[in-house]
Amino acid sequence: MQEIPAFAGIMARHNELGKKGEQLAVDYLIKKGYHIVEQNYRFDKAEVDIIAQLKDTLAIIEVKTRSTKDFGNPQDFVKPKQIKNLVKAVDEYVVVNDLDVEVRFDIIAIVKQGKGFDIEHLEDAFYHF
């Protein structure tokens, strides 16, 4: 019988929270009038959580979900290398799909609050470099 490391249960809960956060973000965006174009779009080393469109704007949305703010705000966990990879992936997506749209990079930060969740949508959270 193989022993499962103690952190395996923690990772499973973390992944479940992440999936729940992404679904909450999708529901939130739909209520705000966005059309969900893609979820979990992958290119090279990047995964774009959500690609959504609102009128002539393509919103590239990174979802950060946390069970607590004890270690900082969820949006503080988006690192420069991740941003660089996201920009590269989105550039590819726009070219391959021959899109003529404004592109905006957003973060949806979700923090568990008791039995509910606090959702914060940060538009234009970071820029191309």
CB–CB of 103/56 below 8 Å?
no
Per-residue pLDDT of the chain (129 residues; tens, 9 = 90+): 555 444 444 445 557 877 889 999 999 999 999 999 999 999 988 899 999 999 999 999 999 888 777 676 766 777 888 888 899 999 999 999 999 999 999 999 998 888 899 999 999 987 654
Class of domain 7-126: alpha beta
Kindly report whether the global pTM for this prediction surpasses the value 0.85. Answer: no
Strands (E), 9-113: 35-43, 46-54, 57-66, 102-113
Domain positions in the chain are: 7-126
